[in-house]
């Protein structure tokens, strides 16, 4: 897909990965709609794009609010045609599931699953009517391999992966495509604290945000259906799908180590 001239809506636009994705899309000649909460990073990103001669519009949204997805779609479509939506906004939790609060469970499902589904649903009629468009859902390796301490997050990302697969099949032949992208552990503020200490102690593979952002843009350009970032994680995804009990055994020792970090969060 040639991204030049495409009008692209990006949620979580001012975040660690989102900002870099937006700047790389700008280099490809895209026109951007930056969806995020009103904040200084969003203002800076908008100014930075303007300084580079790019086109961008900030759309203030709080995905925790009821109906936020539909409201964002309405605001975005009021500016013109939306060619691509990138559902990138997300929140993470690293703790034992028994210690997860009911409030945080609801927050995570709202931001990570419900809001992007609502947003996509509201944008689809116009895309289907003209026979073109792309939905890009940013998942995670944790959406294929569930990890101790990330029970809620893994469940969210499993849901995003299932949503992407089902929607792609539903839209087959419509001219509207769906891309699911699954990064592995990325060095961003969302992964700070105990999760970062755990990953360092276990020597987990970690990617820089710039590498992840570059791969997200590349996956869109390649019209990828599913795009997994990182090796050997992409191999483990396939292994877990075929032989999950083998992966259970392989992770047994690591699970005990992770529990110690998650217990103290």
d(CA 26, CA 8): 10
Q: How far apart are CA 185 and CA 162, in angstroms?
A: 20
The answer to whether the CB of 195 falls within 8 A of the CB of 148 is no
Asked about 6 being catalytic, the answer comes back as: no
Burial of 73 (0-12, 13-18, 19+ CB in 10 A): buried
The 3-state DSSP class for residue 238 equals: helix
Place of tokens 């539909």: 70
Adjacent-strand bridge partners of 7: 31
Given 6, 71, 157, 227, the catalytic residue: 157
Q: How far apart are CA 175 and CA 136, in angstroms?
A: 14
Active site residue 157: yes
Which two three-digit tokens encode residue 250?
A: 């392989």
* Two tokens, residue 147: 């990890």
The half-sphere exposure of 148 on its side-chain side, counting CA atoms within 13 A, is 19
Active site residues: 153, 157
């Amino acid at each position: 897909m040639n991204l030049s001239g495409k009008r692209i809506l990006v949620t979580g636009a001012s975040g660690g990965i989102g900002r870099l994705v937006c700047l790389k899309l700008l280099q490809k000649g895209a026109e951007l709609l930056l969806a995020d909460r009103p904040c200084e990073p969003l203002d800076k990103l908008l100014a930075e794009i303007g300084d580079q001669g790019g086109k961008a519009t900030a759309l203030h949204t709080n995905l925790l609010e009821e109906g936020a997805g539909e409201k964002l779609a309405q605001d975005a479509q009021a500016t013109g045609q939306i060619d691509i939506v990138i559902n990138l906004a997300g929140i993470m939790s690293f703790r034992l599931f028994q210690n997860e609060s009911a409030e945080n469970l609801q927050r995570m499902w709202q931001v990570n699953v419900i809001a992007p589904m609502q947003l996509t649903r509201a944008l689809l009629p116009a895309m289907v009517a003209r026979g073109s468009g792309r939905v890009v859902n940013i998942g995670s390796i944790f959406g294929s391999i569930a990890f101790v301490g990330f029970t809620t997050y893994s469940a969210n990302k499993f849901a995003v992966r299932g949503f992407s697969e089902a929607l792609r099949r539903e839209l087959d032949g419509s001219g509207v495509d769906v891309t699911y992208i699954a990064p592995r552990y990325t060095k961003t503020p969302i992964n700070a604290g105990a999760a970062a200490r755990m990953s360092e102690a276990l020597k987990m593979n970690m990617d820089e945000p710039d590498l992840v952002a570059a791969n997200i843009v590349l996956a869109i350009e390649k019209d990828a259906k599913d795009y997994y970032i990182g090796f050997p994680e992409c191999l483990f995804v396939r292994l877990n799908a075929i032989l999950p009990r083998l992966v259970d055994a392989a992770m047994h020792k690591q699970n005990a180590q992770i529990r110690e970090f998650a217990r103290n969060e």
